[in-house]
Amino acid sequence: MPDYDRLLAAHPFFNEFQADYLHQIACLATTVCYERNAYIFHEGDAAEQFYLITRGHVMLETFGVERRGSISIETIEAGEVLGWSWLFAPYRWHFSARTLEEVEVIVLDGVSLRYMCEADPMFGYALLKHMAVIIMQRLQRTRLQLIDMYRADGG
């Protein structure tokens, strides 16, 4: 069985968390491998997990009008996290996540993490503070991507 305490402590998202928090989180962890071009989750489905990418690349995508094709939003790589919809109502994925190659993730039970946040406000604050940084970074990347798209269109 993997040493999730050690793996979590080494992951950039959790490397500043206290050891007792890491141990509690480790109890919620499992490792899952996905083949190339597999969907980890689909837009609109119930969001109940938090993913730590340990190997590979995952594409966040959404679907255009009448699902006529996917629109690539962002590539997430090893060392990054995937999904925060488990943390915010209505607890549904806003994008789909598709692997670009073989991918390994540590999957955390998001529902249990939410309960931990509610039961221990210090833990909840630490988790939300880290999540806010991720959300801010992703919004900034999306902003830059939109600017590049408008430049490419001559706008």
Domain count along the chain: 1
> Is 0.85 surpassed by the pTM of this model?
yes
- Of 8, 66, 2, whose CA–CA distance to 31 is shortest? 2
pLDDT at 76: 94
Asked, for residue 59, whether it belongs to a domain, the answer is: yes
Q: Which strands form 81-82's sheet, in the order they lie side by side?
A: 29-34, 103-109, 49-55, 81-82
pLDDT at 110: 97
Domain around 48: 4-110
Whether residue 1 has pLDDT greater than 80 = no
- Of 48, 51, 59, whose CA–CA distance to 88 is shortest? 48
Asked, for residue 146, whether it belongs to a domain, the answer is: no
Q: What is the mean pLDDT of residues 27-40?
A: 98
Mean pLDDT over the full length of the chain = 92
pLDDT at 12: 94
| 40-74 pLDDT per residue, tens | 999 999 999 999 999 999 999 988 766 567 788 88
| Residue 41: Cβ within 10 Å count | 21
pLDDT at 150: 72
Q: What is the mean pLDDT of residues 107-131?
A: 97
Asked, for residue 128, whether it belongs to a domain, the answer is: no
Tokens of 95: 């994008």
Asked, for residue 131, whether it belongs to a domain, the answer is: no
Of the listed ranges 6-10, 67-71, 90-94, 140-144, the one predicted with least confidence: 67-71
Residues paired with 53 in a beta bridge: 105
Asked, for residue 130, whether it belongs to a domain, the answer is: no
Asked, for residue 144, whether it belongs to a domain, the answer is: no
Whether residue 18 has pLDDT greater than 70 = yes
pLDDT range class, residue 154, cuts 50, 70, 90? low
Asked, for residue 117, whether it belongs to a domain, the answer is: no
CATH code of residue 30: 2.60.120.10
For residue 135, with 0-12 CB atoms within 10 Å meaning exposed, 13-18 middle and 19 or more buried, which class applies?
A: middle
Q: What is the mean pLDDT of residues 141-146?
A: 76
Asked, for residue 140, whether it belongs to a domain, the answer is: no
